[in-house]
Amino acid sequence: MLGEFEEMFNEMMNKISLQANDTFSKISFTQQPINEVPTYSNIVKSKSMVVIKPKDAEQTNSKTKLDIMRNIDPIDLKLGVSQVKQIKDGGILIGCDNPEGAKNFKKIANEKLSTDYKISDVRKFLPKIRIVGLVENYSSDDILKFLRGQNSVLSDVTHLRVLKTWATRKNPNVFQALIELDAGAYGLVMDLGKLFVNFDACSVFDATDVRICFRCSGFNHIQSNCSLKITCPKCTGEHPLNKCTSSTLKCINCNNANLADTSHAVWDAAKCPIYKKKLNNLKSSIFVTK
């Protein structure tokens, strides 16, 4: 009886390993060549981060880390942890490879650590795209309906928002829309280069940007929240941009950094090395580049 069982068992194991081999050979055949041109979607990944901070701000980072390690097993739970960083007030930042991992991490941390710790998501910066070639000035709701309904890459994206729509400079009857979306969907869309809005294939451009304050010419805030000295972003004069009459461009940020070439506006990403660097830093903070 036992012999028969053993035979059956062995036969089953053989089948499984044959199937496994078969699957394995299929995988290696369909594998992409190593030096293929990288696509946006495989160089751009959404980085999901969770912050664990002790309620007692005097607590050390190592104690926090130890408590996390004692309570959460990242391998067992397949969380895809790719980054662990110490932050202020005894906090630890955990970066996960995928949003699902971060979500699970947060759930388990809440279950096991919430008595002594505050668990929160890192506010995620969202990339933007500009869609050009809309033949009508559609409402935001209509644009969202068309985008989700006619483009499979966007059918179930979690974050998709129309920030504004306006006419193109070339043709007042053709419109464009500024859209904010998830980093993951952004990568897929940038690979496609086109999105359907109603019956029109519209071109897609990257529109991710760093905020520039048009009052003080500084970064990462807007003029309505600014009380710093007025500095024209076009000429460095002590007047608001809309009062600027200067025909000579001068960038205050490059000037303050003693750079040789200051003859551009603060917002000119092609010419201003400081703005360009801010933009690159921002993009590498949202995207994981291989």
Residues that bind Zn ion (CB under 5 A): 213, 215-216, 218, 226, 228, 232, 234-235, 237, 244, 246, 251, 253-254, 272
Give 47 or 264: the residue with its C-beta nearer to Zn ion.
264
Secondary structure class of 154 (helix, strand, coil)? helix
At 28, the amino acid letter reads: S
**Minimum gap (Å) between residue 282 Cβ and Zn ion:** 16
**Minimum gap (Å) between residue 279 Cβ and Zn ion:** 12
Secondary structure class of 186 (helix, strand, coil)? helix
Radius of gyration of the chain measured on its C-alpha atoms: 26
**Minimum gap (Å) between residue 209 Cβ and Zn ion:** 15
Write down the residue that tokens 């043709």 correspond to: 171
Decide the pairing of beta strands 48-54 and 81-86.
Answer: unpaired
Q: In what order do the strands lie in the sheet with 160-167?
A: 160-167, 175-181, 128-134, 200-206, 194-197
DSSP 5-24: HHHHHHHHHHHHHHHHHHHH
**Minimum gap (Å) between residue 281 Cβ and Zn ion:** 15
Give 72 or 272: the residue with its C-beta nearer to Zn ion.
272
Give 135 or 244: the residue with its C-beta nearer to Zn ion.
244
**Minimum gap (Å) between residue 206 Cβ and Zn ion:** 21
Nearest CA to 176 out of 204, 218, 198 is that of 204
